[in-house]
Amino acid sequence: MTSFLDKLCDTARRNNSWLCIGLDSELSKLPSFLRERHGPHAVLEFNRAIIAATADLVCAYKPNLAFYEMLGPLGLEILYKTRELIPNEIPVIGDAKRGDIENTARAYAKALFEHYRFDAVTVNPLLGFDSVAPFLEYPNKGTFLLVRTSNPGAKDVQELDCGGKPLYQCLAEKARAWNTKKNIGIVVGATAPSELAIVRRIVGDEMPLLVPGIGAQGGDLEKAVRNSVNSRGELAIINVSRSVLFASPGEDFAHAARNAAQALRDAINRARA
């Protein structure tokens, strides 16, 4: 069975892209004509159009579960159907940010990997290794550990001094040590470009970095790419959501999303070079 990392690299090289589109399809922000025509089902129709318009421009898609869970049972059904819309050769990262004790983590892993069939998920490692281990038992799946996130409050905790180094560096070192099955990745926000470079040095060339925070959150694309790629100019998954999804509020939304995605892919490639 193909590993997440192999699937990711195959798609990235085929599409010449390290752009990941976050399917954060918040109902209230969708084009009004879609909401009027489909009600809450507009989320699925929106995702269908976005995926069709951009599938040759991405290395992965990343739905954030919050925007589906907020719709209740229907939202989870839409999430499941959205997963089915994505071509099998494109990896899908379930942005769940789960983190709990071992038996609960095992249930989360089973739901996300077996029921929703995500190729990778995001996990909060602050409860320690036993809370991460159930995800790592799926060797062909990816587990992205939150290390230095893109939100303004990240520094409140993630930069706390831990014996002479900030917590995020300690987490990166733990991730490297836990990566015995080569199925761990790291989340570091584009809003912290210096920290991105430090984390890349800590984890080395073979671990993928998932980099949110470009676009609406204000991260610098060029700095983020240069500081997160490995020595081959790869394994930096640059995630963009709102600036692609909501590039137009009109009936041309999918065409506008494609144009925005293509411009971002090209900008990422220039920075990689």
In the chain, how many domains are there?
Answer: 1
High-pLDDT (> 70) share of the chain, % = 100
CATH code assigned at 202: 3.20.20.70
Is residue 103 predicted with pLDDT exceeding 90?
A: yes
Q: How far is CA 14 from CA 22, 57, 157, 207, 235, in A?
A: 20, 9, 39, 20, 14
Per-residue pLDDT, averaged over 129-134, amounts to 98
Q: Are 147 and 162 in contact (CB under 8 A)?
A: no
Q: Is the pLDDT of residue 170 over 90?
A: yes
What is the average pLDDT across 68-79? Answer: 97
How far does CA 96 lie from the centroid of its chain? 10
191 vs 209: which has the higher pLDDT: 209
pLDDT band of 219, cuts 50, 70, 90: confident
**Nearest-5° Cα angle at 140, 135 to 144:** 50
What is the bridge-based pairing of β-strands 209-211 and 142-148?
A: unpaired
Q: Residues 6 or more apart from 206 whose CB is under 8 A from it? A: 182, 230, 235
Amino acid letter for position 237: I
**Number of C-alpha atoms within 13 angstroms, CB side, residue 237?**
30
Which residue from 4, 57, 1 is spatially nearest to 185, judged by alpha carbons?
A: 4
SS3 labels along the chain? CCCHHHHHHHHHHHHCCCEEECCCCCHHHCCHHHHHHHHHHHHHHHHHHHHHHHCCCCCEECCECHHHHCCCHHHHHHHHHHHHHCCCCCCEEEEEEECCCHHHHHHHHHHHHHHCCCCEEEECHHHCHHHHHHHHCCCCCEEEEEEECCCCCHHHHHCCECCCCEHHHHHHHHHHHHCCCCCEEEEECCCCHHHHHHHHHHHCCCCCEEECCECCCCECHHHHHHHHCCCCCCCEEEEECHHHHCCCCCCCHHHHHHHHHHHHHHHHHHHHC
Catalytic residue list contains 97: yes
For residue range 144-153, what is the model confidence (pLDDT) as tens digits? 999 999 888 9
Residue 215 lies in domain: 4-272
Instruction: Please say if the pLDDT value at position 41 is more than 90.
Output: yes
Lowest average pLDDT, out of 95-104, 107-116, 150-159, goes to 150-159
Per-residue confidence (pLDDT) for residue 179, from 0 to 100: 98
For tokens 């980099």, what's the residue?
A: 211
- Residue tagged active-site, from 97, 174, 181, 223: 97
pTM score of the predicted model: 0.96
Report the candidate in 240, 266, 264, 262 with the shortest Cα–Cα distance to residue 55.
262
Lookup: tokens for 273: 């070079």
Residue with tokens 């059904």: 77
Check whether 82 has a pLDDT greater than 90. yes
